[in-house]
Structure 1
């Protein structure tokens, strides 16, 4: 893709890949220019999201960014803390992160995924004003949705290899498989004591 095509994608909004009742809603920091130009999340070739999703067992094969809608059939989805595209996450202001956290909270309250997985602990810390948060499950919840902070899959995150990221993503996958879904009015056990 030509540099001018990427630059033309700055500030674009990329639609979420979501539906209600997901097992895990993955939440990126914000779309990069390649994502905005293609309309496919985590589209930059050096981004390790798609390989790590497969290595961790979330997907039966490595999906291409253009196959992102297949995630919905697996009970997975993608959104972002901040909707607008930029070349780098450091172009976002703390105010944008906090406003993004507010919007994300409302989205999670509406969609009710079992887990919100924020891929980037720094983004999670800023958006939710949790400066001491670490990678892993968080004590904060949004309604019945639990939160897990995951390592950022960007190729710039050299502290984590694809293998070590896959281990952490795999921990979330195991938790998501063992976390019972919240009963709903359509569930015959709803409103009844166990």
Structure 2
């Protein structure tokens, strides 16, 4: 997996998205497979399904089914790493600028950033909390969700699904 360090995964974006989900950055496992949120133990796909965004739990290799459901995936920082805390504040800020441009271009109904600490750093919102944000990014409303990484012990799967479901309800 170390050979995947620094690799990137193409964005999964397009027109007419209900939600563009933005992870912090790809794991080494995701970079090696080429699929977003692919690391075993990552709870993105189960939370997406349990919250009602998808009719069944998709495998990361089925990520290309998401745009037909109005969903896309990108990352704040494109570079893969073993842990998100390996990213520098400068990388997160630069990634935030790129993410804002992506939101401006594609105009999803919501931009969902998965990780409040990364969001705070990338966009200079030191007091941001989980949930809808008062400011938009690139003219798009923002919703901050918990990081679904298995390393995030603060949120269990049911808690993640509840937070995802609140966003899903806002998009309907």
TM-score (norm 2): 0.98
Q: Where do 4+ consecutive residues of structure 1 move more than 6 Å?
A: none
SS of residue paired to 1:40: coil
* Residue 6 of structure 2, aligned match among 3, 8, 11: 11
Q: How many residues align structurally?
A: 172
Q: Over alpha carbons, which structure has the higher Rg? A: 1
Residues 1:43 and 2:45 aligned together: no
Aligned to 2:165: 170
Aligned to 1:117: 112
Aligned to 1:127: 122
CA contact (8 A) 2:146 2:160 kept: yes
User: Could you tell me how far apart the structure 1 residues matched to 2:80 and 2:132 are?
Assistant: 27
Mind listing any 5+ residue stretches in structure 1 that lack a counterpart?
1-5, 178-194
User: Could you tell me how far apart the structure 2 residues matched to 1:106 and 1:49 are?
Assistant: 24
User: Could you tell me how far apart the structure 1 residues matched to 2:158 and 2:165 are?
Assistant: 10
User: Could you tell me how far apart the structure 1 residues matched to 2:144 and 2:102 are?
Assistant: 17
CA contact (8 A) 1:114 1:144 kept: no
Mind listing any 5+ residue stretches in structure 2 that lack a counterpart?
none
CA contact (8 A) 1:20 1:110 kept: no
Residue 142 of structure 1: how far off its partner (Å): 2.6
SS of residue paired to 1:51: helix
Residue 176 of structure 1: how far off its partner (Å): 0.8
Greater RCO, 1 or 2 (C-alpha within 8 Å, sep 6+): 2
Residue 21 of structure 1: how far off its partner (Å): 2.4
